[in-house]
Chain A
Amino acid sequence: MPPSPSPPAPLRQAAQRTSLAVVAALSAASGLACWLLRGSAGLAEAFGIAWSLFLTILPVLGAALLLAGFVQAGIAKETIARWLGAESGLSGLLVATLAGIATPGGPMAAFPLVLALAAGGADRGALIAYITGWSLNGLQRILVWEVPILGPEFAGLRFLASLPLPVLAGLIARRLPRWER
């Protein structure tokens, strides 16, 4: 029986409201600080930067969202769960890393999946590789936020530099002594 890791809608909406509240508060606070320290000229400069960022992001965002959506639709959560359960050894860690990279969404999407897999008896090296692959190199975050804001060169550099690390973390996890419950 495949795990059903999707969080209930109220939880997702609560997370969305929290995100909006956090970014609104930080934006207002930094805007106020900007106005107090740099005056209206500073505010004008800041909005100029925001506008040029917006113009950079606008044509890229639709493609990024569609690409992330198609990857998500092509690789169902049940497939990811099957991959993680089926493989062991080094290839199991590689598969877990790729599954983590393909998992979209924030912590409320990734952690429940790990919970379901752990309950199903998945190898903990694979679980660590999965969650590390998701947190370091989640494709959706790279496409929707990193490429538009920081540029493809930087995103590519960071992706390559981080690519082998989840496998190494998984290898370490397998070698750590087990806790007695």
Chain B
Amino acid sequence: MSATGLVLWAAAFAAGLALWRRDRAAVAAGGRFALGTLKTVLPIMLLALPMAGFLTVLVPDRFAAILFGAETGLRGHLVATVVGALIPGGPFVSFPIVLALWSSGAGPAQMVTLISAWSVLAVNRVVVWEAPLMGWRFVALRLATGFWLPLASGLAAEALLALLPPGAVGR
């Protein structure tokens, strides 16, 4: 098993133990929640993984490097903001797309911007969920306070990457 797997299993075990000491019934509730999520996520994942493969094969080599490679600077971050805002659907769509772009040469900081733009700006989610549930007034408040967040997170990622040894985050 990978190091990630070991760390996650250790963290899950520790969280379960802490919860068991406090409230034994809550451990069962957490387990049921995990099982319920699995039932929701598994069918979606089994369709999303082939899509990740198709997209990785389809996106031409170096295509993402030209659009938003590590050396494209501010322009790459702005392109990533627009692309991220237009990606529809949940994480089962966006993360496979990011994987395909990354394999085709996108920079890690630019992908941080793209995921933030998809998280905060997501045109599709605003129209389908947020506006009907919350009203356009709330949408306007959230966009007025949040439009700059994708770029800020990408630039913060650039600053963090500058502190790390080269190749610490890469494909």
Contact = CB atoms under 8 A, between A and B. Distances in A.
A173 B145 contact: yes
B88 interface: yes
B95 A146 contact: yes
Interface in A130-170: 131-132, 135-136, 140-141, 143-147, 149-154, 157-158, 160-162, 164-165, 168-170
B15 interface: yes
B11 A53 contact: no
Which of B27, B30, B43, B154 has most chain A Cβ within 10 Å? B30
Interface in B113-147: 115-116, 119-120, 125, 129-130, 133-134, 137-138, 141-142, 144-146
Nearest to B5: A59
Interface string B38-58: 101101110111111111111
Nearest to B22: A74
B48 A27 contact: yes
A91 interface: no
A111 B119 contact: no
B9 A23 contact: no
Contacts of B43: 20
Interface residues of A, number: 83
17 contacts: A19-B89, A22-B89, A37-B58, A46-B56, A46-B57, A48-B53, A50-B50, A63-B9, A65-B35, A74-B22, A74-B30, A141-B91, A144-B41, A145-B92, A157-B157, A162-B149, A165-B153
Nearest to B36: A69
B108 A157 contact: yes
Task: Classify the interface of chain B: helix, strand, loop or mixed.
Answer: helix
Given A63-B12, A67-B8, A176-B144, A38 B58 contact: yes
Interface of A: 16, 19-20, 22-24, 26-27, 30-31, 33-34, 37-38, 42, 45-50, 53-54, 56-57, 59-74, 104, 106-108, 111-112, 114-115, 118, 124, 128, 131-132, 135-136, 140-141, 143-147, 149-154, 157-158, 160-162, 164-165, 168-170, 172-173, 176, 179
Given A106-B90, A173-B145, A27 B2 contact: no
Contact of A70 (B12, B55, B102, B149): B12
Nearest to A156: B169
Contacts of B137: 179
Given A49-B52, A158-B112, A19 B44 contact: yes
Nearest to B96: A149
Nearest to B155: A161
